[in-house]
């Protein structure tokens, strides 16, 4: 439902619907209208297209690889093509001065064709601005490792590999980091139940029937 | 070649051990690893030539739990990450969800949050100082630090009933208003604390053993800090004058004057000086804040059932240990679609390998201490 490609459109489509609905409800209850007013006013769209100098430079440089630029709650998000993710990352660091990879994680959208989103939070010390890079990646795809751009990505990518099962090409030592090396399954995937565990591993290594 | 041993786990690039080399396991049951951290050290004699951290012993799947709890239900869980600075964790989480809801806590709540968060920073730094000094062999500071930390925990207890996992804040503001004598208690603590910091400083700053054990140990320059994502006092000790409280002010920090202490060399001694000065600055923030706590409501109108509009938000704060970030995605339901926590300890710990290379085994203890990690947060 909250698919990335749909999200920017949904506020647009809801906008014409709400003015049509609002006259009906205050008319039915005229007395509490001051209280009802803030609720009845059409909510401002939370995600809007983003058009500024920064996105213009990215679009100029990478053209069609910049799939979308949106602003969500005043935070800038660039949705980019996985094929050029590494180049865009390097450009972000070298030219746009995003020298800190503050965080790097993934999100699982199991019903989507490209199942995962990789999400990188960038911060620029010289400019004091943030930018979020997002890219969709299929379950059978591997991403280019960002460790050559930001060494901090090393453990962050290992964590993504561990908990989501996304592999990174060019990573210096890709293996699990939080779970045991032999563990089966990737817990942060949506199809991994909250009570699920690698029962065989637990039985073999802890000598108990269940870790629950 | 008969005396070489393969250790595939250590470093893929240098798995062969020479005749003088050995691999030493430190932890997970080792008092100076501050919890359940296991470090595999590759040694040449007593000199460290490589290391690998083995973590995850405290992994509880906090991010997974978040996906099956409501926004309010998840709040107490974040206290259990960095359990020596629970107030800071809660502050970051509550502010992130407020951003997601596009709500803001009232001014009174903001100021009380700031006071408690700064007290928590002092408490966290005190625990760090006491245990760090103990690791290096100075026993006395531990007792002094615990004594003052106790005063802060008493204030927390009076405020919300809990000392460690406080769950002090709520999404939208506070559940409890400041108790009658909060300002007095904080003032009394702060007045007394100036002298106390001087005591710690007298014990350590000019102490030749302390200087010998910390000067030039665990060097990390500004460039490496940024490349490795190390934040908080570690970054500042390397000379980067940067603090999220100034760069992107949150809570009520923009109202107060304080300095960002920086180091010059980026060694363990500088990190000690930076944290000591940070405690002084936190004390000044507390004193400014209690002078004028605005009257008014303590809770914004966010509703009992939280259903943030679909979308996402990333919010980070300057926790005692560094940048603590929350990336929260909402699909419009009552439970978060995804909560990602950017833990400062986890990312700072990654710098350990760079810092220990070339040092002696005894210095590894000092370097783990100076990173100020909490394993509950590393493993989540």
Which CATH number belongs to the domain containing residue A64 in this structure? 3.30.460.80
Question: Does A11 fall in a domain?
Answer: no
Residues of B in contact with A172 (CB under 8 A): 12-13
Question: Does A35 fall in a domain?
Answer: no
pLDDT in tens, chain B (380 residues): 334 444 444 554 455 666 677 888 887 877 777 778 888 888 888 888 888 888 988 898 899 999 999 999 999 999 988 888 999 999 999 999 999 988 889 999 999 999 999 999 999 999 999 999 998 888 889 999 999 999 999 999 999 988 888 888 989 889 888 888 998 999 999 999 999 999 999 989 988 999 998 998 988 999 999 999 999 999 999 999 999 999 999 988 999 999 999 999 889 999 999 999 999 999 999 999 998 899 889 888 888 888 888 889 999 999 999 999 999 999 888 999 999 999 999 999 999 999 998 899 888 989 998 998 898 889 88
Confidence label for A135 from pLDDT (cuts 50, 70 and 90): very high
Question: Does A132 fall in a domain?
Answer: yes
A167 and A66 share one domain: yes
Q: What is the maximum alpha-carbon separation in chain B?
A: 77
The gap between the terminal CA atoms of chain B, to the nearest Å, is: 42
Neighbours of B198 (CB within 10 A): 13
B228 touches B354 (CB < 8 A)? yes
For the stretch A185-188, contacts whose Cβ atoms lie closer than 8 Å and that sit 24 or more positions apart, written own/partner, are A186/A162, A187/A163, A187/B61, A187/B64, A188/A106, A188/A108, A188/A163, A188/A164, A188/B63, A188/B64
Question: Does A114 fall in a domain?
Answer: yes
Burial environment of residue B263 by CB neighbours within 10 A (0 to 12, 13 to 18, 19 or more): buried
User: Quick one: pLDDT at residue B285?
Assistant: 93
A65 and A90 share one domain: yes
Confidence label for A201 from pLDDT (cuts 50, 70 and 90): confident
Residue B326 β-bridge partners: B315, B341
CA distance B360 to B26: 13
Point out the residue among A72, A73, A103 whose CB comes nearest to the CB of B325: A103
Average pLDDT of the residues in A25-51? 56
Do the Cβ atoms of A46 and B102 come within 8 Å? yes
Question: Does A137 fall in a domain?
Answer: yes
Interface test with B, best of A10, A43, A100 (most B CBs within 10 A): A100
Residues of B in contact with A1 (CB under 8 A): 310, 331-332
Q: What is the maximum alpha-carbon separation in chain A?
A: 68
DSSP A191: T
A128 and A204 share one domain: no
A122 and A209 share one domain: no
User: Which ipTM was obtained for this model?
Assistant: 0.85
For residue A158, is the peptide bond before it cis, meaning its omega torsion is within 30 degrees of 0? no
Q: What is the DSSP string of B344-358?
A: HHHHHHTTHHHHHTT
Number of CB pairs < 8 Å for A and B?
A: 103
Question: Does A91 fall in a domain?
Answer: yes
User: Quick one: pLDDT at residue B35?
Assistant: 77
Interface test with A, best of B51, B102, B338 (most A CBs within 10 A): B338
Residue B23, SS3 per DSSP: strand
Confidence label for A101 from pLDDT (cuts 50, 70 and 90): very high
A145 and A67 share one domain: yes
A104 and A208 share one domain: no
CA distance B48 to A160: 29
A84 and A148 share one domain: yes
User: Quick one: pLDDT at residue B23?
Assistant: 84
List of residues 6+ apart from B367 with CB closer than 8 A: B217, B218, B268, B352, B355, B356, B359
User: Nearest-CA neighbor of A134 among A159, A114, A161, A162?
Assistant: A114
B300 touches B176 (CB < 8 A)? no
* Size of chain B, expressed as the number of residues it contains: 380
Q: Are strands B21-26 and A66-72 parallel, antiparallel or unpaired?
A: unpaired
Burial environment of residue B2 by CB neighbours within 10 A (0 to 12, 13 to 18, 19 or more): exposed
pTM of the model: 0.83
- % of chain A with per-residue pLDDT over 90: 37
Residue B3 β-bridge partners: none
CA distance A43 to A50: 19
User: Quick one: pLDDT at residue A19?
Assistant: 38
Q: Supply B181's token pair.
A: 């004598």
Question: Does A103 fall in a domain?
Answer: yes
Residue A77 β-bridge partners: A70, A132
Question: Does A145 fall in a domain?
Answer: yes
**SS3 string of B132-178?**
HHHHHCCCHHHHHHHHHHHHHHHHHHHHHCCCCCCCCEECCEECCCC
Average pLDDT of the residues in A185-200? 87
Residue A101, SS3 per DSSP: strand
A137 and A61 share one domain: yes
User: Nearest-CA neighbor of B99 among B348, B317, B280, B361?
Assistant: B317
Number of compact structural domains in chain A: 2
Residue A150's closest chain B neighbor by CA? B227
A135 and A211 share one domain: no
Do the Cβ atoms of B331 and A1 come within 8 Å? yes
Residue B333, SS3 per DSSP: coil
User: Quick one: pLDDT at residue A17?
Assistant: 38
Query: Could you list the residue range(s) of the whole structural domain that residue A202 is in?
Result: 179-212
Question: Residue A25: is its pLDDT beyond 50?
Answer: no
A106 and A149 share one domain: yes
Residue A45's closest chain B neighbor by CA? B309
* Chain A interface residues (partner B, CB cutoff 8 A): 1-2, 7, 10, 43, 46-47, 72-73, 75, 77, 99-103, 105, 107-108, 119, 121, 125, 128, 130, 132, 150-152, 154-156, 163, 172-173, 176-180, 187-188, 192, 194
A143 and A192 share one domain: no
What element of type H or E holds A100?
strand A100-108
Confidence label for A3 from pLDDT (cuts 50, 70 and 90): very low
Do the Cβ atoms of B248 and A188 come within 8 Å? no
Residue A173's closest chain B neighbor by CA? B12
A196 and A149 share one domain: no
């Amino acid at each position: 439902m909250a698919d990335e490609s749909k999200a920017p459109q949904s506020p647009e489509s809801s906008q014409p619907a709400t003015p049509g609905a609002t006259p009906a409800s205050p008319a039915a209850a005229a007395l509490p209208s001051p209280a009802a007013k803030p609720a009845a006013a059409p909510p401002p769209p939370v995600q809007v297209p983003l058009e500024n100098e920064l996105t213009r430079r990215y679009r100029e440089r990478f053209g069609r690889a910049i799939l979308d630029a949106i602003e969500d709650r005043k935070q800038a998000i660039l949705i980019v093509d996985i094929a050029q993710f590494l180049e865009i990352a390097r450009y972000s660091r070298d030219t746009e001065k995003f020298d800190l990879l503050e965080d790097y994680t993934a999100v699982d959208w199991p019903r989507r064709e490209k199942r995962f989103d990789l999400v990188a939070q960038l911060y620029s010390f010289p400019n004091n601005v943030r930018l979020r890079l997002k890219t969709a990646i299929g379950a059978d795809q591997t991403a280019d490792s960002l460790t050559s751009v930001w060494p901090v990505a090393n453990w962050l990518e290992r964590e993504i590999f561990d908990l989501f099962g996304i592999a990174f090409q060019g990573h210096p030592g890709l293996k699990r980091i939080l779970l045991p090396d032999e563990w089966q399954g990737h817990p942060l995937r949506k199809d991994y139940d909250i009570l699920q565990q690698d029962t065989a591993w637990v039985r073999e290594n802890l000598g108990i029937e269940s870790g629950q | 070649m008969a005396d070489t041993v393969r250790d595939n786990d250590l470093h893929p690039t240098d798995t062969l051990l020479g005749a003088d080399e050995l691999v030493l396991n430190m932890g997970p049951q080792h008092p100076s690893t501050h919890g359940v951290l296991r470090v595999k050290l590759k040694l040449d004699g007593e000199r460290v030539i490589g290391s690998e951290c083995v973590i995850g012993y405290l992994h509880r799947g906090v991010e997974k739990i978040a996906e099956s709890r409501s926004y309010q239900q998840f709040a107490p869980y974040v206290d259990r990450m960095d359990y020596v600075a629970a107030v800071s964790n809660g502050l970051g989480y509550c502010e992130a969800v407020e951003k997601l809801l596009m709500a803001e806590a009232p001014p009174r709540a903001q100021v009380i949050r700031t006071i408690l968060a700064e007290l928590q920073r002092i408490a966290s730094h005190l625990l760090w100082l006491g245990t760090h000094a103990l690791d290096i062999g100075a026993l006395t500071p531990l007792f002094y630090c615990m004594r003052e930390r106790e005063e802060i925990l008493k204030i927390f207890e009076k405020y919300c009933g809990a000392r460690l996992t406080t769950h002090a804040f709520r999404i939208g503001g506070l559940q409890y208003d400041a108790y009658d004598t909060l300002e007095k208690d904080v003032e009394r603590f702060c007045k007394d604390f100036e002298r106390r910091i001087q005591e710690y400083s007298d014990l350590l700053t000019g102490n030749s053993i302390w200087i010998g054990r910390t000067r030039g140990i665990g060097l990390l320059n500004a460039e490496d800090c940024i490349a490795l994502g190390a934040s908080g006092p570690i970054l500042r000790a390397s000379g980067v004058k940067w603090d999220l409280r100034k760069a992107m002010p949150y809570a009520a920090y923009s109202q107060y004057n304080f300095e960002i202490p920086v180091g010059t060399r980026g060694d363990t001694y500088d990190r000690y000086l930076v944290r000591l000065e940070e405690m002084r600055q936190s004390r000044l923030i507390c004193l400014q804040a209690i002078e004028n706590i605005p009257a008014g409501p303590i809770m914004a109108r966010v509703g009992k059932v939280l259903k943030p509009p679909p979308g996402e938000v990333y919010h980070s704060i300057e926790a005692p240990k560094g940048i603590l970030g929350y990336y929260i995605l909402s699909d419009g339901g009552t439970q978060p679609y995804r909560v990602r926590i950017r833990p400062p300890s986890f990312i700072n710990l990654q710098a350990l390998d760079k810092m220990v290379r070339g040092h002696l085994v005894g210095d590894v203890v000092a370097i783990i201490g100076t990173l100020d990690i909490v394993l509950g947060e590393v493993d989540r």
